[in-house]
Amino acid sequence: MHQPFYKDLVSGSYQLPWTRLHALKDYYGMVRLLEEFPAVRQTFNLVPSMLVQVAEYASGAALDPFLEAAIKPAENLTEADESLILQNFFHANPERMIRRYPRYGELYDARFAHSDVSQARRAFSTQDYRDLQILSQVAWFDEEFIESDAAVRGLIAKGRDFSADDQALMARRQLEILGRVIPAYRDAALAGRIEISTTPFYHPILPLLCDSAIASTSHPHVPLPRRFRYPQDAALQIEMARDFTLREFGTKPAGMWPSEGSVSDEALRLSAEAGFSWTATDSGVLDRTLGRGSGVDGLYRPYVWRQGEREIRVIFRDHFLSDLIGFVYSAMDPAHAAADFLGRIRANCGGLLAGGRDALVPIILDGENAWEYYERNGRAFLRELYRRISDDPQLSAVTVQEALQRIDPAPLGGIFPGSWINANFDVWIGAEEDNRAWELLLDAREALDAARGVSEDKLRLAREELLIAEGSDWCWWYGPEHDSPNRVDFDRLYRSHLANVYHALGMRAPEELSRPVLTLAVAEFHAPPTAAIQPVIDGEVSSYFEWMGAGLYRLDMRTGAMHGRRFLVRELYYGASDATIFLRLDFTSAPEELAPAIEIRLRFTRMEAARLAEVTIQLESGRAATSTAGVTCACRQILEIAVPLASLGLAPDGPVRFQASLWQGGLPLGAIPQQGWIELATATPDIWPV
């Protein structure tokens, strides 16, 4: 469980609402759910800087601009308030969270019927704003409150035309949910249902704090900024986390999930010196440590890292199984998803069990961001999964400490430096924006070193702001990998933390901190067709002109707060001519490398009709085939498909909507577009230009 540190220590204000919103929706319910399944025990990793924020919200001491806008009487909203609401109160999953509440979906459609906020602002009434203020918050309420709290159920049943009293009720319930989060974890830990582990206090990438040059070990020749080498900061972040968790929960944590699973020999040494007995990272790091694929025999066991007199146990996350929960099962029926997951575990472990050895299967994933993609916040899936585990005598869901008592570790003399993302540090260093951020951090760190004649209070504030700026979250949003509507806010907040270091030291902040680090534009592009097309279906780009005039849907391959989504398709071209729809898929790698087989499911419907027509394309080893009569396809460099409307039972006169989804082994890999449909005017002479 982790969120960036959104508080500005100088102003005391919280810049973004995500700690509060995830505390409402995820943190409390995730641990409370275990009360229904006493046989299921889990390890929850709670990042201290997140808990500090949750505690301040629960006490009523924390406010963010979004909460203030949500609880302000709708009659008193200023134009600035209205603009903030219309820009930010729809940052939720449209299908799972917004359209779950019909009025919220109606307001979503009304907002995006206008291209800019100023137009939408004039179209919204006072009642519209109040309904949006309430529903945008209720959509983030924990399922337990939605299911069992009579007052919350009453709000949901009312649905619209809310009153000022309803708004006050929403605000009170928020505070109540937030106040239950930390006590729920404390109670579960005392009852033995969970183990609580921790992370370095402000979530830094430990190996890079110890020595940023180590990034070139995991990625040779990567461009790097000036060397940042402050292992003492890494040690301080670790010790602060240990001491905070001991104070908050009454027990010294045995385990530590290093931020983003980032490890190195120096980071493990510091963790062992701080008294931690176990840590964890990803299977990719194990593979690179061993110099080969670990296989289930190597992966499904603990290790003990030893160097000199220091040692610490290490487990390695099953990357594939963990990512199934994070990115795949949300699109499946909960029972089928749970059965698939446990079926894969049984299949993986069969050989080990037959050989007389227990198997430790580490499933480690983001504790909050995945669930908004599931129906009802993933509770049906989790209940189904926990029930099946509880009913199976071969399976035990245990904490890490319990697992380490059951299976002897294998020795590990060293560990390859890397993170859970590609066993390197490329997300946080090496790109132009990342390196610029590290340069600014180093400048501030050197200013702190050089400070003289500063009071202890000011030094403490400067050091704290520097530790916050060392967190991983700022560089998560820099560089080409990730996108968020709040990237600009993260950039501004990072530079504010660095500026506060200088202000606390009585120094003038460098002028460059006034300019954004961000330079990259978000890669998102969709252009409709401009002319009829008649490509040759041969799986190759036969000529430059054959797809000229086609529509183009270019996928944005940035991800958000979760990393790990697999992208197979880079671009989709589409168009029509002579009552035939043509589609072209350009893949992210050579089609023959897409193994095992990929299934592409195409769905077509008339704009006004409920009837769906489906076409399935099987793609294996660069060869494409379909069983749908009349449809042709070919794949060599690209996949080309021709779908006559007659083969779908659709007349050629009028627009058609279509969407595509990709599957592998019965599991969904993604959809184009991610939400909704692509509309295509079919080829009649009065539609297309000559």
What is the tens place of the pLDDT at every residue in 98-128? 999 999 999 999 999 998 899 999 999 999 9
Mean pLDDT of 172-198: 96
Whole-number pLDDT of residue 178: 97
At 183, phi and psi to the nearest 5?
Answer: -60, -35
Residue 120 to residue 114: CA distance in whole angstroms: 6
Within 258-399, residue ranges assigned H as helices are 265-273, 283-290, 295-299, 319-323, 334-354, 379-391
DSSP letter at 559 equals B
Is 467:501 a contact under the CB 8 Å cutoff? no
Whole-number pLDDT of residue 684: 47
Question: CA end-to-end span of the chain, whole Å?
Answer: 57
Whole-number pLDDT of residue 115: 85
Weakest mean pLDDT among 291-305, 316-330, 542-556:
542-556
Whole-number pLDDT of residue 599: 87
At 598, phi and psi to the nearest 5?
Answer: -110, 140
Q: Say if residue 415's pLDDT is above 90.
A: yes
CB atoms within 10 A of CB 225: 18
Whole-number pLDDT of residue 523: 55
Weakest mean pLDDT among 104-118, 242-256, 581-595, 638-652:
581-595
Is 18:3 a contact under the CB 8 Å cutoff? yes
- The residue type found at 284 is G
Prior bond of 223 cis (ω within 30°): no
With a CB cutoff of 8 Å and minimum separation 6, the contacts of 268 are 279, 305, 307, 310, 312, 314, 415
Residue 288 to residue 291: CA distance in whole angstroms: 5
Whole-number pLDDT of residue 688: 41
Q: What is the pLDDT of residues 155-183, one digit of tens each?
A: 999 999 999 999 999 999 999 999 999 99
Q: Tokens 């296989």: give the residue.
A: 295
Reduce the secondary structure of 512-548 to three states and give it as a string: HHHCCCCCCCCCCEEECCCCCCCCCCCCCCCCCCCCC
Percent of the chain with pLDDT over 70: 94
Is 532:687 a contact under the CB 8 Å cutoff? no
At CA 547, angle to CA 542 and CA 548, rounded to 5?
A: 120
Whole-number pLDDT of residue 557: 62
Mean pLDDT of 280-304: 97
Length of the chain: 690
At CA 206, angle to CA 232 and CA 211, rounded to 5?
A: 70
Is 196:189 a contact under the CB 8 Å cutoff? yes
Tokens of 122: 């004039």
Is 326:341 a contact under the CB 8 Å cutoff? no
Mean pLDDT of 468-475: 97
Q: Say if residue 208's pLDDT is above 90.
A: yes
Mean pLDDT of 367-381: 95
Q: At 563, is the pLDDT very low, low, confident or very high (cuts 50, 70, 90)?
A: low
How buried is residue 181: exposed, middle or buried, by Cβ count under 10 Å (0-12/13-18/19+)? Answer: buried
* Lateral strand order in the sheet of 632-635: 525-527, 551-554, 569-577, 580-587, 639-644, 632-635
Q: Say if residue 35's pLDDT is above 60.
A: yes
Highest mean pLDDT (candidates 154-163, 510-519, 537-546):
154-163
Residue 288 to residue 415: CA distance in whole angstroms: 8
**CATH topology match: 432-513 vs 525-681:** no
Residue 197 to residue 254: CA distance in whole angstroms: 7
At the top level of CATH, the class of 432-513 is mainly alpha
- The residue type found at 675 is Q
With a CB cutoff of 8 Å and minimum separation 6, the contacts of 2 are 45, 47, 50, 199, 203, 259, 366, 367, 368
Is 40:389 a contact under the CB 8 Å cutoff? yes
DSSP letter at 339 equals H
The per-residue b/e assignment along 261-296, b for 16 or more CB within 10 angstroms, e otherwise, is bbbbbbbbbbbbebebbbbbbbbbbbbbbeeeebeb
CA 29 to chain centre: 19
Helix (H, G, I), strand (E, B) or coil at 53: helix
Q: Say if residue 389's pLDDT is above 60.
A: yes
Q: Say if residue 561's pLDDT is above 60.
A: no
Look at residues 522, 539, 549, 512 and name the one whose alpha carbon lies nearest to residue 640: 539
At 646, phi and psi to the nearest 5?
Answer: -60, -35
Average model confidence (pLDDT) across the chain:
92
Residue 624 to residue 37: CA distance in whole angstroms: 46
Is 660:572 a contact under the CB 8 Å cutoff? yes
How buried is residue 639: exposed, middle or buried, by Cβ count under 10 Å (0-12/13-18/19+)? Answer: buried
Q: What's the CA dihedral at 289, 291, 297, 301 to 10 degrees? A: -10
Q: At 689, is the pLDDT very low, low, confident or very high (cuts 50, 70, 90)?
A: very low
Enumerate the domain spans of the chain: 18-194, 197-316, 320-406, 432-513, 525-681
More confident residue, 623 or 286: 286
Look at residues 100, 87, 95 and name the one whose alpha carbon lies nearest to residue 139: 100
Tokens of 360: 């430790």
More confident residue, 224 or 599: 224
Tokens of 342: 């446990």
Look at residues 145, 120, 108, 190 and name the one whose alpha carbon lies nearest to residue 28: 145
Whole-number pLDDT of residue 575: 94
Q: Say if residue 556's pLDDT is above 70.
A: no
Q: What sign results for the dihedral spanned by CA atoms 103, 105, 108, 113?
A: negative
CB atoms within 10 A of CB 345: 21
Q: What is the pLDDT of residues 564-600, one digit of tens each?
A: 556 788 899 999 987 899 999 998 888 777 667 888 9
CB atoms within 10 A of CB 178: 23
CA 588 to chain centre: 21
| Pairing status of strand 569-577 against strand 194-197 | unpaired
Q: Tokens 């005598």: give the residue.
A: 393
Q: At 522, is the pLDDT very low, low, confident or very high (cuts 50, 70, 90)?
A: very low
DSSP letter at 44 equals E
Tokens of 663: 């599957």
At 368, phi and psi to the nearest 5?
Answer: -130, -45
Q: At 8, is the pLDDT very low, low, confident or very high (cuts 50, 70, 90)?
A: confident
Task: Assign a CATH topology to domain 525-681.
Answer: Immunoglobulin-like (2.60.40)
Q: At 459, is the pLDDT very low, low, confident or very high (cuts 50, 70, 90)?
A: very high
Orientation of helix 48-59 relative to helix 231-249, angle to 10°: 50
